[in-house]
Each structure stands twice: as C-alpha cells, then as structure tokens.
Amino acid sequence: MNEPVLAPSLLASDHAALGEGAAAVAKLGLKWMHLDMMDGHFVPNLSFGPETLAALRRDGSKLFFDTHLMLSEPHKFVDAFARAGADRITIHIEPSYDHGAALDAIRAHGCRAGIALNPGTPIGSIEPFLGKVDLVLVMTVQPGFGGQAFREDVLPKIAQVDRWRSERRLDLRIEVDGGIELASAALCRSKGADTFVAGTSFFASKDRAAFAASFASL
C-alpha cells in the first residue's frame, strides 16, 4: 500500500490570505496542497481560477499542486492550469466531453492526471480510463461546499478501485475528498485509500502539526 499523503485543501483557508494558507501547509513539512476549482455550473459554488495558482507560484510556493477541476468543461482549461503551475490535474467523469483526449492533453503538458467521480456516479464509469491516470479521486461528499459530513456509502467504491489496482498492477493513488478527518480517513484507509484531502478539519485544527502527524501514521 502506498504511503499516506495529506493534501490540505486551500478552499478552507482564509481567502484574503491564500499565500499565508499555502505557507502554513509548507511550514509543517507537508508536500501537497489540494486546489478546488469550481465554476458555478458543474457545482453550485465558485472558487479559484488559473491565476490563483500562478500567483501562489510567484509567491514562491513549491508545494505539489493537486488541482481538482470541478468544471462543466474542464477540457477547455487544461492548458491554462498547466501553464499556471498545476502538478496534477484531475477531471470529473460526469460532464459530457472527450475524457480520454482531456487526459492525454494533461499528460502532454507534463502534468500527472487524475479522474474523479461523485458519490452517486457508478464506479464502472471510470474503469475505461484507469490506464490513463495515476490517481482516482473518490468524492466522499457531493462536491460544491466544504464542511459536509462524510458519506460511508462510498466506501465500497474505494474498495473496488483498490481491487482494480491490485488485480491489474496499476500504479495509481486513491484519493478521498469530503468530510475527511482522522476517523473517516481511517475508514477510507482500510479500503485502500492513500491520499486524503482535508479542508475544514485541517485549517480549523488548533494543532495542525498534530493533525498532520496523525495522518502520517494511518
């Protein structure tokens, strides 16, 4: 099983001080930061754009930018996010577009590629694309807003991706996002997850160092 990775979500930080939020993640020795891009169409919320990534890079951030495109037309923005400094670009299976071509475009830019699905989406929908990605993101809440409660009904999906990974000897990570704190992360870890997006629970923690350390021992 892959080593656990904690990826704090910048969406839950102070939006008037995003650079400080990124610096707080790096100061703890964490390597990843999750960036949620929302367009107000695919999900009922607006968040950041490519310029936010570019500004964080100009500010000196060397974190691994785990970029999650919750967009109705993500394929139209691959170039912009890649140029802005994304290290991985994850796209959703639900909108109608050429998913395979979008994943190829992500890789052509030298970025890592991921595929995501929502709680109500059949797990089989992502199966044709497993050979084109190095990360599967299983949403553990319906995306759009932070602070939601973790949904245990998604655990079988995590387990299925883990079975595919083992049976087909795939080199990919399994990421979970939504309602993630230590207890829910442990449940996901037991099913094969190795990458944990924590937003509200991380930034609201009174002891972020202890919080991060608890994930390292999952």
Tell me the C-alpha distance between 156 and 90, whole Å.
21
Tell me the C-alpha distance between 93 and 121, whole Å.
9
Look at residue 43 in the predicted model and tell me its pLDDT. Answer: 94
Which residue type sits at 52?
T
Look at residue 218 in the predicted model and tell me its pLDDT. Answer: 93
Identify the sign of the CA torsion 67, 68, 70, 74.
positive
pLDDT, mean of residues 188-204: 97
pLDDT band at 185 (very low <50, low <70, confident <90, very high): very high
User: Which sequence positions are flagged as catalytic?
Assistant: 36, 177
Q: For 139-166, how does the pLDDT look when each residue is reduced to its tens digit (9 = 90+)? A: 999 987 777 899 999 999 999 999 999 9
pLDDT over 80 at 190, yes or no: yes
Tell me the C-alpha distance between 119 and 136, whole Å.
13
Q: Which domains does the chain have, with CATH numbers?
A: 5-216 (3.20.20.70)
Look at residue 145 in the predicted model and tell me its pLDDT. Answer: 76
pLDDT averaged over the chain?
Answer: 96
pLDDT, mean of residues 178-190: 97
Tell me the C-alpha distance between 170 and 129, whole Å.
12
Containing 33, the helix (H) or strand (E) segment is: strand 32-38
Maximum Cα interatomic distance, the chain, rounded to a whole number of Å: 46
Tell me the C-alpha distance between 4 and 189, whole Å.
8
Say how many C-beta atoms besides its own lie within 10 A of residue 170's C-beta.
15
